[in-house]
Chains A and B, each alone.
Chain A
Amino acid sequence: MARFNAVDVVLWAMRIAVVAVVVIGTAGTLIKGRYNAAQWFDFVMFGLTIGSIYAQIALGYTMVYGVLRLINFAHGDIVMTGAFAGYFIATPLDRSGFLESHPVLGMTAILVVAITVSTSIAVLTERIAYRPFRRVVGLAPLICAIGVSFFLEQTFRGMFGSAVKSYPEPQWERAAFHVLGFNVPRVDVLVIGLALVFMGVLYLIVQRTRMGTAMRAVAEDGEAAALMGIDVNKVVVFTFILGGAMAGIAGVFYAFVYKQVYFLMGFTPGIKAFGAAVLGGIGNIPGAMLGGFFLGMVESVGPTLFLDGIGIPAPYQLRDLIAFTLLIMVLIFRPQGLLGERMARRRA
């Protein structure tokens, strides 16, 4: 018969407490009936929107980790560079009226510029900062990544100032669809829809192309892949190109939804997306997507659903706590993350 030690007892007590809060809180909130169906629908839409952005950022973390075993802490700041690049093209397009009259062309131009800038910076970061540390064992690459993060933040602060800049808000973006009595903001549909399309394309690239196959081979065993004739440097650069592109797209979407760009804007979503990547099973692409949506949904719905019912005042200040507590709970039950096992089995 297995014996329980003190740590096991504490862990089980935590699990029971969290489950109790979730169950009792949810029941209490639903019984109170304070929110109508339209408001619950809104909570879900907000969660899916921010979740889709987290998912795109998380893909950058997870791909780089998969290939290099490096936590690229500067990835959130690559998102910021994309948002800034988008801002500098979106503002004149908005002022000239082009963005209003030609939304598809305007958005395409903004995304192309943002992706170009964020991808270029991601590739330069790899070449200048990370490649020299490729064979270094220990914490040096991680510290270098943190240094790159500060460098990018302070460079953009120096170049463009520290004030918050406002993203354009075209009329077409403010409109909403009305479906079955629910209000669906067009910008949310656009962001979620395009994010799913881009993530789908990325998944196909990784699964169905020669370069994607090479990426997966390097992720499995870099040295063996090199012996088989795969150019590992090329694969790593390609990984940073994909991650940088997703970061650029995420930066533009984030700025279009929340309307602000400033030099520190990448930090918080970067940390959360890293959490999402870990939650999904770091190194696993579908896992990063799932983790992003899970985190977004918990942040948006969690405080109201779990805490309203048990009378916790001002529950929204606890949303990060709720999200990361659930993240820890998932990792206690599944240390490899939600989809981490799939990769582990394949490797085995």
Chain B
Amino acid sequence: MNAILKLFAAAVLLAMAHTATAATVGPVTDDLGVIRIAKGAPIQIGGYWVLSGADTALGLDEKRGVEIAFKDVGGKVLGHPLKLNAEDDGCNAEGGQTAATKLAANPQTVVVLGPACSSAATPGAPILWQQGIVNICTACTAPALTASTRKPEYAGFARTVFSDSEQGKADATYVHNVAKAQSVVTVHDGSPYAQQLQQVFADNFKQLGGKILSQEAIAPTDVDMHPLLTRIASEKPDLIYFPVFTAAAAQIVRQAKDTPGLEKTTLMGGGSLLSADFIEAAGPSVVGFRIGYPDVSPEAMGKNYPKFVDEYKKAYNEAPISGYHANAYDGAMLAIKAIEKVAKEDKDGNLFIGKKALRDAVFATKFDGISGPIACDAYGECSQFKASVLEFTSSDPKTFGIGKNPKKIWP
């Protein structure tokens, strides 16, 4: 019995040790604890993105955006070098959980940027916030993450990317008013991103007077879409809306062309498909395929965006490989500005950052980012949304370029 009690006490102590608690360290007192960075030591910023698998371009593009932001501030903040500890989350819940746990276990992690996928952010953000670490997401767009009804464990979560509540509404408006589709079938893959986006789309499309024939679901690893598409063909939709990820979306695009009854049906996907990898995966069928996406044309972005693109090309010898680099850059800048606001130095040159103070600073910071104005609301939504629809024009992955392939067709 004693052994059980000891074990229980040890577990309680362990749990307490792994939760953010109030502390006074050096000149800083903070409700969630204080991070001490020794003189000359790096400010460690965590990052988790999809860096392997079919959706690599999505995450790698954002990581590069962060790296350029670090470079633009001279690689240092308040005399301390910036260090990015990037983890691969595989764009799934298990990966997000593992990456967040690893970053949270490092007591020097000041703030975490990313991920690209809502599936990873949904379990990842609460793990980080349990340690008082702010998570600034750079591409996860699921509405629930910044909804007014979100749970307290997401209080440390903010994002420099739009919510799909805006994207879904814009896509529904385009499909109903511009593409003139009256009946739609939606397909999701069970991920928070796809499930919530297609639901927002369906709700708005119905409000506009359109008809949702059915809301289908697949697994992200599904390869044979023929039976599903044959089933959809029996409903004779004007358009199929499937904001899923690269591998599954490419299969739908390819196989729909061969499915009797769907030859003339319009296909539309989501922002996760803006990459050369998707063009490669979808092959010749990609031509004419459309995706709903925030407007990232130079005229819609912040005034420094063209300069950023030049830097990107110079640093990586290629144009941006996906579409969220600007959001990632702004996420990094938001973190840096917040750190500059709250960090305090003692007489020996050590730096002290209060965790709650940093969270409050992130939520209060406003600036003109390269993706547009950045200003967070009370639930961590910091980005402004401008809608657009893009259409792929060539099946050659080398022609990928936002504005060229795919080109903007609306507004």
Q: Is B226 part of the binding interface, using a Cβ–Cβ cutoff of 8 Å?
A: yes
**Secondary structure of the A contact surface, majority rule:** helix
Distance of A318 from chain B, by nearest CB (Å): 9
- Quick check: is B149 within 8 A (CB to CB) of the other chain? no
Q: Judge whether B251 and A39 touch: CB under 8 Å.
A: no
Q: Is the CB of B223 within 8 A of A260?
A: yes
Bound Cα distance from A165 to B214, whole angstroms: 31
A 155-187 to B, binary, CB cutoff 8 A, 1 in contact else 0:
001000011111001000010000000010100
Q: Which residues from B are CB-within-8-Å of A50?
A: 224
A153 to chain B, nearest CB (A): 11
Q: Using known A-B contacts A258-B251, A259-B283, A313-B214, determine if residue A304 contacts B54 with beta carbons closer than 8 Å.
A: no
Contact flags (1/0) for B209-227 with A, using CB distance below 8 Å?
Answer: 0000011111101111011
Which of A260, A313, A317 is B219 in contact with, Cβ under 8 Å?
A: A317
Q: With a CB–CB cut-off of 8 A, which chain B residues contact A304?
A: 227, 231
Instruction: Say if the beta carbon of A220 comes within 8 Å of chain B.
Output: no
**Chain B contacts of A300 at CB under 8 A?**
224, 226-227
Per-residue interface assignment for chain A, residues 263 to 307, with 1 indicating a CB less than 8 Å from any chain B CB and 0 otherwise: 011001100000000000000000000000000000111011000
Judge whether B84 is part of the interface by a CB distance below 8 angstroms.
no
Query: Quick check: is B246 within 8 A (CB to CB) of the other chain?
Result: yes
A345 to chain B: which residues have CB within 8 Å? none
**Restricting to B1-60, which residues have a CB under 8 Å from any CB of A?**
52-54, 56-57
Q: Is the CB of A43 within 8 A of B227?
A: yes
Chain B residues, CB < 8 A from A303 = 227, 231
**Measured CA separation A206–B284 after assembly (Å):** 42
- Whether A42 is near chain B, meaning CB under 8 Å from some CB there, is yes
Within 8 A of B (CB), among A129-171: 157, 162-166, 169
Q: How far is the CB of A186 from chain B (nearest CB, A)?
A: 11
CB of A35 closer than 8 Å to a CB of B: yes
Q: How far is A313 from B219 in the complex, measured between Cα atoms in Å?
A: 15
9 inter-chain pairs at a CB distance below 8 angstroms, sorted by A residue, are A46-B230, A162-B52, A164-B54, A165-B280, A185-B258, A300-B224, A313-B214, A316-B218, A317-B218
Q: Which 10 A-B pairs have the closest CB atoms?
A: A317-B217, A314-B217, A164-B281, A46-B226, A316-B228, A162-B52, A164-B54, A163-B277, A166-B283, A258-B223
Residues on A close to B: CB < 8 A?
34-36, 38-39, 42-43, 46-47, 50, 157, 162-166, 169, 174, 183, 185, 257-260, 262, 264-265, 268-269, 299-301, 303-304, 308, 313-317, 319-320
**Which residues of B approach A to under 8 Å, CB–CB?**
52-54, 56-57, 190, 214-219, 221-224, 226-228, 230-231, 233-234, 246-247, 250-251, 254, 258, 260, 277, 280-284
